[in-house]
Structure 1
Amino acid sequence: MNIDWTAKLRHLLQVMAFALAIATIQYAFMPERPWGPPLVYSLLIAGITWAGIDIGRHLFPSSAETGWPPGWAGLVLVIASIVLGYLLGTTIADSLCDYYGWYTPGAGHNNNSQLRNSILITALAGIAGSFYFYSISKSAYLQRKMTEARQHASEARLKLLETQLEPHMLFNTLANLRALIATDPPRAQVMLDHMIDYLRATLGASLSATHTLQAEFDRLRDYLELMLICMGPRLSYTLELPAELAQHPVPTLLLQPLVEISI
């Protein structure tokens, strides 16, 4: 079970802040009562409920889409955690408030009205908090999928460009090679050697989305040598690659479109 404890701590702090806000709102509506007891109840109930939901959900098979148990398992987990959080949190808070004497005369914690209010607040806060974290998990999943989709789209566009460029270059090279075989066999042999090197590099690069800048320059050199044989003295070129950039990874066929356009 792989748990991101940093994320759990962030969730716990958010829950504690939410519990603090609830206790403050309660105190604002009943300023005649002390602020301490509602704060203790709110923090304990919220903390136990959070632990039951956010840690307990890893004990069940979870949906990749949300990170939460799907179907009834997720619903039962939320309800059971809220009930557990209320019962256990209230029991501990009762003991603490009794022990430290935080109650004022006439403000008993067993008051029926107070009991109904605390149950209602716990239920609403638990549902709201669960929905908030469920939405965050689903939103993070959708963001990851969008990033993956953009990456796949970029790779697909690159592969499409590669399939459009290489047949065009290949057919032109073969046409030139056919003409050279009859008129200049030595040059045809040199052209064929460069073509073999270029195709070998191209097929190797097609197995991965990236390669080093040095490999890209080597591929360009074979391509330019082919074009040099076709164009003769009309074409000259120089390739300059700083040593510190030679091993930098780049997408395959990154520079060839620029070279073809230049030619």
Structure 2
Amino acid sequence: MPRRLTLADAVHHAREALAGGEAVVSVAVLSSVAAHGPAAGERISVWANRHEGTLGDLNLDEAALRIARTALAESDRPATHEIAGCTFYVEPHRAPPELVIVGAGHVARPLCRTGAMLGFRVTVLDDRPEFATRERFPEADEVRPARFDDPFRDVRIGRGTYLVLVTRGHKYDFEALRDVLHRPELPAYVGMIGSRRRTRAALEALAREGVSGDRLKTVHAPIGLHLGGETPEEIALAIAAEIVMVRRGGTGQPLRDRERVAERWVRSGG
């Protein structure tokens, strides 16, 4: 029989996940009306391929595991579930997504603010000490000096990273893009600012270096959704919108065109 999990154990697992470890779901019994049901406070911690703890009943454990793994795949929000006379509290714990902005110029400032507002843990990198400052980026979790010949030294770039390349020069964007595309594990998103001509030149150069077409197609360049924006704030909004679209599986299509409410109403005669 698996050992019962204490509240301290569950809190420890949650804190590990929030600090950047593997995502975990806590499942706790709030109440039970069954005669021999589990006591309130019984709990298990569930990861993608393992779990710890027991509710004291194999069938309830299996039900809780199914609910928890669905939450792992589909939700960031806590919820309650009723099964076999028991009320479960199900709470996912995962590290916030990482937004790494390479370049600390005019677009980076509003993008940092927007990223923080959207719940990202924001890191800003630049090779200019006067630009990479806490005063310019108060909402960032980290502001780091960087060398663009080794842009991600001591910076973790993984599957949960959203990477934006907006340096002061196309050469530096290209060096950062080259670095990340040669890594074994690609980020969740990589976008590079620049014109169509510069984007094409960069991708052609990387193809000549042996970067596969499949990898090149993952790059969002020119970066952002087409909103017609011109100011740094409008460009940052277009970039943030594309990141949300990629993260949440959206299409970028206007909801008016997708739902066609007015068109259907007019066609039906009102």
Structure ranking higher in strand proportion: 2
Answer 1 or 2: which has greater helix percent: 1
Alignment TM class, shorter chain as reference: under 0.3
Rg larger for: 1
TM-score, L = length of structure 2: 0.20
TM-score, structure 1 as length reference? 0.21
